[in-house]
A and B are shown apart, each in its own frame.
Chain A
Amino acid sequence: MQLRRNLDEQKVENVIANLLRAGVLVAALVVVGGAVFYLGTHSWLRVDYRTFHGEPDELKTVHGIVRYAFSGQARGMMQLGLLLLIASTVTRVIFSMVAFAIENDRMYVLFTMIVLAVLLYSLFGSFLIA
């Protein structure tokens, strides 16, 4: 019984590890894609990050970024890659929740739901406090 449980947990951990790796890889590839496009079109532009202006609205919200990226904007594509990176941690948490649910561990399903709620609030609702 104990051995079987350990095997299952090992399996869950392997899936989590692969999820994390795939998430980073996909995110990095999208960022690289956007970067090639960005460097190709903006290469001689002068940069200055001394003063903080804040990002425009299309780079600040989830739907704004997605729309901007798909309209073919290089900066939007890079931001989409970064957003995918953030989202990969959400996927990881959702997967843990499912794994705890399969193990019938209600207490940990609840804990995971709290973490998930905080993450989703941060991604979709934090403009309320920002």
Chain B
Amino acid sequence: MNVIEFTFLVWTGSLLAGFLGALTGLGGGVVLVPLLTIFFHVDLRYAIGASLVSVIATSSGSAAAYVKEGFSNIRVGMFLEIATTLGALLGAYLTAKVSASAIAIIFGLMLMYSAFVSRRTRPRTEVERPPDTCATKLKMNATFPDTSGMRTYNVYRVPAGFGVMFGAGALSGLLGIGSGALKVVAMDQAMKIPFKVSTTTSNFMIGVTAAASAGVYLSRGYIDPSLAMPVMLGVLIGSLMGTRVLVKTQTKSLRLLFSGVIVLLGLEMMFKGFTGGF
């Protein structure tokens, strides 16, 4: 393939990944690496580098919209970014130490996990509990706009959330993904932060987390501009289009379909990892 063909095809693929990722809420970054490695035969390290850059673009692009609506909790985000950025440094450091096969297998597991998480809908029983002392000291309890005006919420189990966030950061640095699914689990499940606040704050944190490993990737030569260019531009435009359409469409069946695609890609990544295809 020559430069024009390759650039155009990668751009189209990334556009589609970004569009579907935003539309289904599963994130586009997670399918980019399998797309590049399986269909375009790109080396895993170049693929991870390009994916990571596009993750920063989509996070900043979409966070801009959410931050304005007043959903994200900037204090929670900033505190947890200590964990995610340190984790991201560790993860990025590990990419050079861990074999490509092992990375592919972990990637496959992560793909299946994100497909699985998206299938669950959680009815949460609201239990009134006294505010957590740690969260109170950290001034994390806040309000967010609800259908019935501003609603206050308390944050719990900060150390547990911090721990999961460190893991999410490490996975983000190791695999070149946003690991939004794990970040949401840390805030929503562990810290009992309302779902809407969790997702928007997570989105907001993804860019900074990814930037922490991007520096390491850059100095290792993982980020190739000719490859990252169509990926970043494609995903960015695709995800912006996806968020626009999101408001108007019923996405349930599309989500199911995209989850299916993700599971298949996960299986393929694991298969290639086990058989030494990387």
B46 to chain A, nearest CB (A): 5
Chain B minimum-CB-distance residue to A61:
B219
In contact, B85 and A14 (Cβ under 8 angstroms): no
Chain B minimum-CB-distance residue to A97:
B78
Residues of A near B41 (CB, < 8 A) are 49-50
B17 to chain A, nearest CB (A): 17
Q: How many Cβ-Cβ contacts under 8 Å join chain A to chain B?
A: 208
Give bound CA distance, A82 to B222, whole Å: 13
Interface residues of B in 74-125 (CB under 8 A from A): 74-75, 78-79, 81-82, 85-86, 88-89, 92-93, 96
Selecting from B174-182, B205-213, B252-260, the interface stretch reads B205-213
In contact, B233 and A20 (Cβ under 8 angstroms): no
Interface residues of B in 1-40 (CB under 8 A from A): 1-4, 6-7, 40
Chain B CB within 8 A of A66 CB: no
Per-residue A-contact encoding for B38-76, CB less than 8 Å = 1, 0 else: 001111111000000100110011011101101010110
Known contacts A21-B64, A79-B223, A129-B216, A39 near B4 by CB under 8 Å: yes
For chain A, which range describes its interface: under 10, 10 to 19, 20 to 34, or 35 or more residues? 35 or more
In contact, A85 and B53 (Cβ under 8 angstroms): yes
Interface residues of B in 218-233 (CB under 8 A from A): 218-230, 232-233
Chain B CB within 8 A of A98 CB: no
A102 to chain B, nearest CB (A): 13
B188 to chain A, nearest CB (A): 21
Chain A minimum-CB-distance residue to B8:
A39
In contact, A129 and B93 (Cβ under 8 angstroms): yes
In contact, A44 and B4 (Cβ under 8 angstroms): yes
B74 to chain A, nearest CB (A): 7
Residues of B near A70 (CB, < 8 A) are none
Chain A minimum-CB-distance residue to B173:
A122
**Which of A14, A20, A107 counts the most chain B CB atoms within 10 A?**
A20
Interface size on B, residues (CB 8 A): 66
Residues of B near A83 (CB, < 8 A) are 218
Give bound CA distance, A112 to B205, whole Å: 13
In contact, B56 and A50 (Cβ under 8 angstroms): no
B59 to chain A, nearest CB (A): 8
Chain A CB within 8 A of B138 CB: yes
Chain A CB within 8 A of B215 CB: yes
Chain B minimum-CB-distance residue to A2:
B143
Give bound CA distance, A16 to B92, whole Å: 27
Q: What are the nearest 3 A-B pairs in CB distance? A: A122-B215, A54-B221, A55-B221
Given A32-B233, A38-B3, output 10 extra A-B contacts at Cβ < 8 Å: A13-B68, A42-B226, A50-B41, A51-B43, A54-B220, A54-B222, A60-B219, A81-B229, A89-B210, A122-B85
Q: List 8 A-B pairs, Cβ < 8 Å.
A: A34-B225, A43-B2, A46-B1, A50-B41, A54-B221, A92-B208, A123-B218, A130-B216
Q: Which of B's residues lie within 8 Å of A, judged by CB?
A: 1-4, 6-7, 40-46, 53, 56-57, 60-61, 63-65, 67-68, 70, 72, 74-75, 78-79, 81-82, 85-86, 88-89, 92-93, 96, 138-139, 143, 207-208, 210-216, 218-230, 232-233, 236
Q: Which of A's residues lie within 8 Å of B, judged by CB?
A: 6, 9-10, 12-14, 16-18, 20-21, 23-24, 27-28, 31-32, 34-35, 38-39, 42-47, 49-56, 59-61, 75-76, 78-79, 81-83, 85-86, 88-90, 92-93, 96, 100, 105, 107-108, 111-112, 114-115, 118-119, 121-124, 126-127, 129-130
